[in-house]
């Protein structure tokens, strides 16, 4: 089927919720993608920070195919070892409490909201301006962006957005607050780190009032910033966190992970999901975990992130972010991203009119970083002439 035929069918049969680039990808390997005409691309988006250990990593392919051939799904009415093992290692490597598995990031947020609400009945959830927590009604209600929320009113009540300012956060939280929900690095709104003093102030006021501090690590977690969890850089430990995106390296899995204090808030019958935590997706996440949480892998992510940041800065670009979760400012970001894709065969993403986001697989090589930067230089240069 030609690209034109695909586009015609998409127009007729898929809801028009996505603005797709005019490329059909058919194969991937590591940081590389191939389109239907056999052209090779460098992938510096990784399916929006999902393909954490590269396309078709042999260990992930093996884990998924082995598990597929054995058992894909039985429901949460029974025990399976991959799910329990993954929960144990997530807990032991983070907050020490318990895990609820989901199929997506938004669902992980829903779990965190339900947990916080049950723990403090009727309590408000405080979020930061510019946050993105997902598209389901609860997660959308926690996403204070007019364009995304406005068509879908009425939203879930009990959410309040405040500026990313220590005093504003402090003033918004009291004994009736259920949770403060924060992305340590805001992803969809342009890769903006929330200042440490805001996180510290949120931690302090949550300790004072008994509200839960929840970090949304859906994008910045799972090694993306060069630490397993972005909060490890900040010195602020949350009471719970949400994961998804890179957790499964390409299979749909999310999780809400708690510390010990909120581990037993949700009890039998309180929450559930038919698909979530299947042996298939948890076997995949275990394979990703084996790669990411091993030896010098994360130190390497930091080093490669520095390399990428310095090279981009060398092009005169204003770069922000951490590890391999980076962005730079560009006058017409969507046009630059389009030139990079179609002229340079480099996959990037614009989070808005003036921000280009880079989130390559964590397994990206130094040579691929150098090559991507050269391509960005040409794509940016072509726009300024
Ligand atoms: C992507 C994202 C979500 C939503 O995840 P979905 O899997 O698309 O539902 C929530 N929070 C953050 C920080 C994200 O980056």
At 69-110, the pLDDT tens digits run 999 999 999 999 999 999 999 999 999 999 999 999 999 999
Q: Which of 44, 132, 159, 328 is catalytic?
A: 132
* pLDDT tens digits for range 28-62: 999 999 999 999 999 999 999 999 999 999 999 99
DSSP-derived letter for residue 142 is T
Residue 269 is assigned to a structural domain of this protein = yes
Residue 315 lies in a domain: yes
145 and 163, same domain (yes or no) = yes
- The total domain count for the chain is 2
For residue 28, being part of any structural domain is answered with: yes
Residues 143 and 243 in one domain: yes
Residue ending a domain, choose from 292, 324, 358:
292
Average pLDDT over residues 169-197: 98
Mutate which of 127, 240, 245, 281 for ligand 1? The one with the most ligand atoms within 8 Å of its CB, which is: 245
Query: Which one of the listed residues 43, 216, 239, 289 is annotated catalytic?
Result: 216
| Domain's final residue, options 257, 272, 292 | 292
Q: Which atom of ligand 1 is nearest to the CA of 254?
A: 7
Assess whether pLDDT exceeds 80 at residue 384: no
CA of 219 to the centre of ligand 1 (A): 7
Is 264 among the catalytic positions? no
Q: What is the pLDDT of residues 346-367, one digit of tens each?
A: 999 999 999 999 999 999 999 9
- Based on the fold, state whether residues 251 and 372 are members of the same structural domain: no
Residue 167 sits in the same domain as residue 220: yes
Asked, for residue 112, whether it belongs to a domain, the answer is yes
> Does the pTM of the predicted model rise above 0.95?
yes
Same domain, 268 and 135: yes
Residue 243 and residue 260 in one domain? yes
How many whole angstroms from 245 Cα to the centroid of ligand 1?
7
**pLDDT exceeds 90 at position 383:** no
CA distance 80 to 234: 35
Judge whether 129 counts as a catalytic residue. Answer: no
| Pair 245, 145 in one domain | yes
pLDDT at 382: 79
Whether cis (ω within 30° of 0) applies to the bond prior to 154 is yes
Pocket lining for ligand 1, CB < 6 angstroms: 104-106, 109, 132-134, 183, 187-188, 216, 218-219, 244-245
Among 234, 268, 292, where does a domain finish?
292
Mutational test site, ligand 1, from 148, 243, 244, 359, max ligand atoms within 8 Å of CB: 244
CA angle 87, 233, 91 (to 5 degrees): 10
Mean of pLDDT values over 158-187: 98
Same domain, residue pair 226 and 315:
no
Which position among 100, 159, 215, 245 bears the catalytic label? 245
Per the structure, the complete domain to which residue 159 belongs is given by 71-292
Residue 63 lies in a domain: no
65 falls within a domain: no
Statement to judge: residues 269 and 332 lie in one domain: no
Are residues 168 and 255 both part of a single domain? yes
Instruction: pLDDT band for 385, please (50, 70, 90 cuts).
Output: low
- DSSP secondary structure string for all residues of 247-311: GGBTB--EEEEE-GGGTTSS-TTS---SSTT-HHHHHHHHHHHHHHTSTTHHHHHHHHHHHHHHH
Q: Which atom of ligand 1 is least distant from the CA of 188?
A: 15
Domain shared by 113 and 253, yes or no: yes
Whether 132 is a known active-site residue: answer yes
Looking at the fold, whether 146 and 266 belong to one and the same domain comes out as yes
For residue 234, being part of any structural domain is answered with yes
The reply to whether 51 falls in a domain is yes
349/271 Cα distance (integer angstroms) = 35
């Amino acid at each position: 089927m030609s690209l034109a035929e695909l586009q015609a069918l998409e127009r007729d049969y898929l809801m028009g919720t996505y603005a797709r680039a005019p490329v059909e990808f058919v194969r991937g390997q590591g940081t590389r993608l191939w389109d239907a005409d056999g052209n090779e691309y460098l992938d510096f988006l990784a399916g929006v920070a999902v393909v954490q250990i590269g396309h078709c990593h042999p260990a992930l392919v093996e884990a998924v195919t082995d598990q597929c051939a054995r058992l894909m799904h039985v429901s949460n009415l029974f025990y399976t070892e991959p799910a329990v093992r993954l929960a144990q290692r997530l807990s032991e490597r983070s907050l020490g409490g318990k895990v609820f598995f989901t199929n997506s990031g938004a669902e992980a947020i829903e779990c965190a909201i339900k947990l916080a609400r049950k723990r403090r009945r009727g309590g408000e959830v405080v979020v930061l301006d510019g946050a993105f927590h997902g598209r389901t009604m609860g997660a959308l209600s926690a996403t204070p962006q007019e364009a995304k929320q406005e068509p879908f009113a009425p939203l879930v009540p009990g959410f309040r957005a405040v500026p990313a300012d220590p005093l504003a956060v402090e003033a918004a939280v009291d004994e009736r607050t259920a949770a403060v929900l924060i992305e340590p690095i805001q992803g969809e709104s342009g890769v903006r780190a929330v200042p440490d003093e805001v996180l510290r102030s949120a931690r302090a006021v949550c300790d004072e009032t008994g509200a839960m501090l929840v970090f949304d690590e859906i994008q910045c977690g799972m090694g993306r910033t060069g630490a397993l969890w972005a909060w490890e850089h900040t010195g602020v430990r949350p009471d719970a966190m949400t994961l998804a995106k890179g957790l499964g390296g390409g299979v749909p899995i999310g999780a809400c992970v708690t510390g010990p204090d909120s581990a037993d808030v949700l009890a039998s019958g309180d929450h559930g999901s038919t698909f979530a935590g299947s042996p298939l997706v948890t076997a995949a996440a275990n394979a990703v975990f084996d790669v990411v949480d091993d030896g010098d892998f994360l130190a390497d992510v930091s080093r490669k992130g520095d390399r990428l940041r310095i090279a981009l800065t060398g092009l005169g670009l204003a770069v922000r972010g951490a590890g391999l979760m980076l962005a730079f400012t560009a006058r017409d970001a969507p046009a630059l991203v389009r030139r990079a894709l179609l002229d340079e065969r480099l996959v990037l993403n614009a989070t808005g009119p003036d921000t280009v986001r880079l989130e390559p697989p964590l397994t990206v090589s130094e040579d691929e970083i150098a090559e991507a930067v050269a391509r960005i230089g040409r794509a940016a240069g072509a726009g300024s002439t």
